[in-house]
Amino acid sequence: MTPINPGTHLDHLLRQTRMHHVQLSSMADVKANIMLTLAAVVTTFSIGYLSDPVLRWPVVVLILFCVVTVFFAAYAVMPKLDFDFQPETKNPDCNILFFGNFMNLDYEAFRDIMEEVMASSENTYEAQIREVYELGVYLGHQKYRYVRLAYLTFIGGLVSSGLMLIGVEVFKFWG
């Protein structure tokens, strides 16, 4: 990394970016919880219509899509940690500022690594930049991807169920 001259402007930039990522993560959790609740409520209310011969198959489709929605939404908020991970500080992919990377270290090992990181402003900024990068990658590839899939699945279930209901009605009318 190119040498960086420390300053409050850089500290502010990294702090703001990190706070923004934390807010985006919270928003993704809220959206996933909304989808979990909505899909569960729709499933609960739909079960009562399974005995209706006209609504049976549209309701089955809707329930199946709701179950898939619940899986995607739950996966989006489920913590993803490697409980056997042992960080290697010489590895450029090691983000020592993320608790999942240092949770298996004893305090002395963590302290030694942090002393190395804090020994120079370049190391400190490199650690912060890596953390901001990994937070963004995690948000994009884990949380928001599965929240999006939950929304799309739920919408797809509503559309499929509605089209199936229309198809049943048209078939009854013409048949």
Render pLDDT for 99-140 as a digit per residue (tens, 0 to 9): 877 888 889 988 988 998 899 888 888 889 889 998 999 899
Where do runs of H (alpha helix) occur along 8-143?
Answer: 8-47, 56-77, 99-102, 107-118, 121-138
Q: Is residue 43 part of a domain?
A: yes
Q: Is residue 66 part of a domain?
A: yes
Q: Is residue 90 part of a domain?
A: yes
Q: Is residue 80 part of a domain?
A: yes
Catalogue the long-range contacts made by 142-147 (C-beta closer than 8 Å, 24 or more residues apart).
142/76, 142/80, 143/25, 143/28, 143/29, 143/32, 143/76, 143/77, 144/24, 144/28, 144/76, 145/76, 146/32, 146/72, 146/73, 146/75, 146/76, 147/28, 147/31, 147/32, 147/35, 147/72, 147/73, 147/76
pLDDT at residue 77 is higher than 90: yes
Number of domains in the chain: 1
| pTM for this predicted structure | 0.82
Q: And the tokens for 56?
A: 């049976």
Q: Is residue 175 part of a domain?
A: no
Q: Is residue 1 part of a domain?
A: no
Count CA atoms closer than 13 A to 9's CA, side-chain side: 2
Q: Is residue 174 part of a domain?
A: no
Q: Is residue 3 part of a domain?
A: no
**Highest mean predicted confidence (pLDDT) among 55-59, 77-81, 164-168, 169-173:** 55-59
Residue ranges making up the domain that contains 41 = 8-169
List pLDDT tens digits, range 39-63.
999 999 999 999 998 899 999 999 9
